[in-house]
Amino acid sequence: MDVDLAHLRALSAAVSEGTLEAAARALHVTPSAVSQRLRALEVATGRVLLVRSKPVRVTESGEVLLRLARQVELLADETLAELDAGSGQHQSLPIAVNADSLGTWVLPALAPLSAAPAGAGPCFDLHRDDEAHTAGLLRAGTVVAAITTDPDPVAGCTVTRLGAMRYRPMAAPAFARRWFPEGVTPEALGAAPVVLFDRKDDLQHRYLRQRLPAPAHPPVHHVPSTADFLTAVRLGMGWGMLPELQAHPVQDGDHVLDVDPSGAIDVALYWQQWKLRSPALDRVAQAVIQAARTCLVQ
């Protein structure tokens, strides 16, 4: 099977931009040309690669070709940068990161790389998702690396254990006095309001399953922002599982309490990346792994 690079670029652009028309604008060709290239790629592979919806959706076979397309783009960017370091071209690295890592330790790890001399550092395209779902972005070819809870390597990827983020059930002092005057009893946990990050967030209910003999349905607030989640807990809207890295006082009188010191939950994290000799990606991996060894529970 011969795969044309222009056809791979059309596939990558269609998925990135969402429509064939937008892909055409990004590639400076007509929508008809994009459609013809995609069709030629499907004929060459004998597979349907895209569902022509809005936005387009990549099929399982398309995910395999999309990974190849993104790998080719990464290698081409690095080659062009090596040939002409002063061209002003910036390499973009799409990486999937869970919200709590993004809000605590990952950005300090990546910042020195972006501050490389003469703009030589990569540009980061960070995709935020739940740590249990980031591997799906890697599998789909959307990102070149991911911080994930999945210890099994995605096809074509390597995996390195980073450590564990430790979460503790925390609440504002006034909230704890009102709802947990006798501690986190089953009755109190069944009634006390709880803050969830989003509908993928299972940490609070995981803690409840460990502590309660039967399922509970307490009032729930959804606050889909790492900083605002912490603020919601500090303001007494509910209790929530906060990372130890985030649960320290911000200022005098503005703090949270660990309402159950024996109730910590460790979430193991892994770094997965393409099996591709990429100096830029290797530098990112080294920075992330070193930071994890300092910040996470080993």
Whether the Cβ atoms of residue 93 and residue 123 lie closer than 8 Å to each other? yes
170 vs 280 pLDDT, higher one: 170
CATH class of 165-265: alpha beta
Ramachandran class of 95: left when φ > 0, alpha when ψ lies in -120 to 50, beta otherwise = beta
Average pLDDT score over residue span 4-10: 92
Average pLDDT, the chain: 90
Q: Which residues, other chains included, contact 279 with Cβ-Cβ below 8 Å and sequence gap of 6+?
A: 78
For residue 154, which of 92, 91, 96 has the smallest C-alpha distance? 96
Q: What is the pLDDT of residue 250?
A: 46
What distance in Å separates the CA atoms of residue 58 and residue 51, rounded to the nearest whole number?
6
For residue 290, is pLDDT > 70?
yes
Q: What separation in angstroms does the CA of 205 have from each of 172, 179, 195, 208, 215?
A: 19, 17, 11, 5, 9
Q: What is the pLDDT of residue 84?
A: 66
For 50-76, write each residue's pLDDT tens digit: 999 989 999 989 988 998 898 888 888
Instruction: Give the CB-side neighbour count of residue 71, counting CA atoms within 13 A.
Output: 17
Average pLDDT score over residue span 252-271: 88
Q: Copy the structure tokens of residue 261.
A: 């010191």
Query: Is residue 182 exposed (0-12), middle (13-18) or buried (19+ Cβ within 10 Å)?
Result: exposed
Q: Extract long-range pairs of 132-141: CB within 8 Å, 24+ residues apart.
A: 132/200, 132/202, 133/200, 134/96, 134/97, 134/98, 135/96, 135/272, 137/96, 138/96, 138/272, 139/63, 140/58, 140/63, 140/66, 141/15, 141/58, 141/63, 141/64, 141/66, 141/67, 141/68, 141/69, 141/70
What distance in Å separates the CA atoms of residue 148 and residue 98, rounded to the nearest whole number?
7
CA 165 from centroid of its chain's CA atoms? 14
Average pLDDT score over residue span 191-209: 95
118 vs 52 pLDDT, higher one: 52
Angle at 9 (CA atoms; ends 28, 30), nearest 5 degrees: 30
Q: What is the pLDDT of residue 262?
A: 94
Q: What is the pLDDT of residue 273?
A: 95
What does the domain layout of the chain look like in residue ranges? 1-69, 165-265
Q: Which CATH architecture has domain 1-69?
A: Orthogonal Bundle (1.10)
Q: Copy the structure tokens of residue 89.
A: 């071209």
For residue 251, is pLDDT > 50?
no
Helix (H, G, I), strand (E, B) or coil at 271: strand
Torsions phi, psi for 144 (to 5 deg): -95, -15
Same fold? 1-69, 165-265: no
For residue 86, is pLDDT > 80?
no
DSSP 175: H
Q: How confident is the model at residue 85 (pLDDT cuts 50, 70, 90)?
A: low
